Structure 1
Amino acid sequence: MGLAGAVWAELPVPAFTLAWRHTIEKVRWEEDYRVTPSGLLLGEARVKGSGAGMEIPDGAELREGTWHYQRQLPPLQPLRLGRTPEAGDYQLCFDQRCHDLSEWLGSPKASQPALELWSCPVTTPDSPATHEGSGQG
């Protein structure tokens, strides 16, 4: 999977969870993705509640205080995310740990209000994991 901003990073993961907090309601959202050759495939998503601009989708199931749902979307290539200082940071969760995107890209900046995630071929173990450059992966 690739991350693009002022730098790009390559993470050799087959799946991940994208997590964030709603800017107004402060409710955590999570979306599970599989990395496929044709793009990032959204699986299950979860949210703890509803509120301003946060309608629970039809067919969602409430389990232990969290709404679980699935949307039928084609693979996303790339997945574009808005990322600003006011909204806080996203987390990528894999290998049973969550990491703020700032670990790879620095803090969110108003001058760079978006980033892209995409699937890419796995590289060999001796290729570099993080690159500065044009965002090509």
Structure 2
Amino acid sequence: MSMLGVCLALAASGSTVPPVFVPAERFTLAWTHSIEKVRWEEDYAVVPSSASGEPPVLQALAARVRGSAAGMEPPDDAVLRNGWYGYTPRMWSPQGLRLTRSPFADDYTWCIQGRCEPMARWLPSDGGITLLTPCTEAATPR
């Protein structure tokens, strides 16, 4: 069986940067809003598809936001604990995420098993969109 993880790729057509496979069945994606300076964290799991032969699925497990700000209010069902509004995301099984990465804002932070690093450790930013999709090591384009 192939190892589950996430494939990261730059969305720009004609990009010469190859996609990258990151082995991680569970991870946290975090960022700080560039204007409001509010920290967000989302926990995800990569799980096998229920259909044989289909690619894995990305499940949003939990999310936290460190306060609220204009246009960034936590959902109505969020619960405040220790300065964080925690909630369960409504989008349960997205097939992937489109992450906007800008040279004018801090990069996303990627945490696996408690170790956190900027996303640029795995894939440089081109100042545009980075695609994050659930995948297997065997499915990573070379």
Residue 13 of structure 1: aligned partner: 24
Residue 86 of structure 1: aligned partner: 104
The yes-or-no answer on 1:26 pairing with 2:31 is: no
How many residues get paired?
123
5+ long unaligned stretches in structure 1: 124-134
Structure 1 residue 52: deviation in Å?
2.2
Which of 3, 6, 10 is 2:8 aligned to?
3
Structure 1 residue 119: deviation in Å?
1.1
Distance 1:109 1:53 in 2: 26
Structure 1 residue 122: deviation in Å?
4.1
Structure 1 residue 8: deviation in Å?
1.7
Distance 2:38 2:81 in 1: 16
Structure 1 residue 109: deviation in Å?
3.3
Distance 1:75 1:56 in 2: 20
| Gap change, CA 1:115 and 1:15, over 3 Å in 2 | same
Distance 2:23 2:111 in 1: 13
Conserved in 2, the CA contact under 8 Å of 1:34 and 1:41?
A: yes
Which of 100, 113, 136 is 2:118 aligned to?
100
- AA at the equivalent of 1:13: A
- AA at the equivalent of 2:57: G
Conserved in 1, the CA contact under 8 Å of 2:61 and 2:92?
A: no
Normalized against structure 1, the TM-score is what?
0.81
Distance 1:7 1:91 in 2: 20
- AA at the equivalent of 1:21: T
Q: What's the Cα RMSD here?
A: 1.8
